[in-house]
Structure 1
Amino acid sequence: MSGNGTTAGDDPLQTAVWRLRSRACWADAAALLPVGTAAAALQRTVLLVERCLYTEAGWEEAEDALRTAEALAHSDEERGAAACERGYLAYSATLHGVRDRADEARSALGRAAALIEPGGAGRALLDFRRGLIAENLTRSAQAARAAYRRAHAGATARPDPLLLSFTWRHLAGLALREGE
């Protein structure tokens, strides 16, 4: 959801990754990343899971990247971020009817919530993804609204303009459907 490499002075590798990602060249962007570090493995996973969500393809490659990210994660923050990606991949598979992995999605995001500190760097994204599950899988508008509001507050505090655009859109969509 968030990206680096869009402002002057950023790492050239991150600039190239961001440009490829913004052009829907997820596999090409993932191929640029170095192998063997937890951060790069997680970033690679993010790219490949995003590809699955938008193209409904590449599930095995995303799953392999996720297993690598989970194996390389050593800190609670890294394990929490990997769990958040596992939840998002399971959510995407369920949403697209590839396989019902709704229980896995909820479980993985619950694990992520236990590992990522409130106010931590990945918490707003985690809350947003919990809102997606509440809205689209469990059909609970009240739970979705609460999660999106937490995500919006976190994205405002950190500032994450890309995530803010998503939280606004989903909060507005819920309000329209409920006639608020």
Structure 2
Amino acid sequence: MIGAGFQLDGALGEGTVADTAMRKSGLTEPWGPKGPGPQDGPLEHAVWRLRSRACWEDAAALIAPRAESDPGAARWRTAVLVERCMFTGGGWGAAEDALRAAEALATDDEERGATACERGHLAYAATLLGVRDRADEARSALGRAAALLAPRSPGRPLLDFRRGLIAQHLSDNPSDATAAFQRAHAGAAAHGHGLLLSFTWRHMAAMAEHHGRLADARHGYAESLRIREELGYLVGIAPALASLAAVLPDPAEAARMRAEAARLVRLLGGVPAWLADRLAPAPTRAADG
């Protein structure tokens, strides 16, 4: 668990353990400037360090010069800003502006499909977090992405995952969600998308928990946590800890994990915002008198 191979004391420093783990793991992540695949340049690593520590605005600023003319970089910047929306519940205007700029730069079906996938995810996030009901837009955009992306496109696993999110959270269709997450998981493994694998493990575990298969849920949540630790994805570790704690049979171990999750949320300034509220201690009542 946390602390085994991932040193929190240096987690907010420059590079070091997290970057080494990302390189040595053989795991790549699907939100880089050229779409899915390995991202080994200095800009990519600088952006990764900032993203993983909840510094999305700074990460987007680093990408901005390249994003002015490069469709992949524009889409990468959009993904970073949409991620900020998901974790903080804010920044919607900046994400929408970045997305429109990325759409304007897309020139072929692969680029248009990948950008439509980002539009679908932004609309999904706004709906899920109660900002505005954009469920129809989310479904339409992801459907457009499915029509544009080639069957063997490396962007397909991410699309499958996001369609699974729609089925899980907006359509209340567990069977479709499970099938989509399984397709995304297989694709993420085939393409070596490490961060996406952590998300597919997490959501397959949620489906298992939904169906009462707690052993499978524990396994999936533990795998999600392991990958996030290996990649140094600090901002995603607290949600992984909290989810695993919810299905552990040992109350003491579960309490320890929730406490560690709360500490990480405080370390990162209260993100994820939705988790901060869940982990906040219950207020104590003053005695009557």
CA contact (8 A) 1:4 1:14 kept: yes
2:47 is aligned with 1:39: no
Residues matched between the structures, number: 177
Alignment of 1:121-136 (within 5 A): 121-136=154-169
Deviations 1:46-102 (A, max 9, x none): 100110111111101100000000000001111011100000000000001000000
Are residues 60 and 70 of structure 1, via their aligned partners in 2, closer, same or farther at CA, if it must alter by over 3 Å?
same
State the match for 2:132 in structure 1: 99
| Whole-angstrom CA distance in 2 between matches of 1:178 and 1:163 | 23
Q: What's the secondary structure of 1:24's corresponding residue?
A: coil
TM-score for the superposition, normalised by structure 1: 0.94
Deviations 1:17-58 (A, max 9, x none): 111111111111111112221111111101001101111111
| Whole-angstrom CA distance in 1 between matches of 2:170 and 2:188 | 23
TM-score for the superposition, normalised by structure 2: 0.59
State the match for 1:55 in structure 2: 88
Structure with greater contact order relative to length (CA < 8 Å, sep ≥ 6): 2
CA contact (8 A) 2:32 2:76 kept: no
2:183 is aligned with 1:150: yes
State the match for 1:2 in structure 2: 30
CA contact (8 A) 1:80 1:116 kept: yes
- The worse-fitting range, judged by mean Cα deviation, of 30-39 and 149-158 is 30-39
The structural deviation recorded for 1:15 is 1.0
Structure 1 or 2, whichever has the larger Rg, is 2
CA contact (8 A) 1:48 1:61 kept: yes
2:136 is aligned with 1:108: no
The structural deviation recorded for 1:4 is 5.3
Are residues 4 and 110 of structure 1, via their aligned partners in 2, closer, same or farther at CA, if it must alter by over 3 Å?
closer
The structural deviation recorded for 1:103 is 0.3
RMSD: 1.5
Identity of aligned residues (%): 64
CA contact (8 A) 1:4 1:18 kept: no
Q: What's the secondary structure of 2:140's corresponding residue?
A: helix
**Structure 1 letter corresponding to 2:69:** G
| Whole-angstrom CA distance in 1 between matches of 2:31 and 2:179 | 25
State the match for 2:272 in structure 1: none
Q: What's the secondary structure of 2:130's corresponding residue?
A: coil
The structural deviation recorded for 1:179 is 2.1
Are residues 4 and 60 of structure 1, via their aligned partners in 2, closer, same or farther at CA, if it must alter by over 3 Å?
closer
| Whole-angstrom CA distance in 2 between matches of 1:38 and 1:89 | 18
| Whole-angstrom CA distance in 1 between matches of 2:189 and 2:147 | 22
CA contact (8 A) 1:124 1:155 kept: yes
State the match for 2:212 in structure 1: 179
CA contact (8 A) 2:31 2:79 kept: no
State the match for 1:24 in structure 2: 54
**Structure 2 letter corresponding to 1:80:** G
The structural deviation recorded for 1:3 is 5.0
**Structure 2 letter corresponding to 1:172:** A
| Whole-angstrom CA distance in 1 between matches of 2:40 and 2:124 | 32
Unaligned ranges ≥5, structure 1: none
- The worse-fitting range, judged by mean Cα deviation, of 142-151 and 28-37 is 28-37
Unaligned ranges ≥5, structure 2: 1-28, 34-38, 214-289
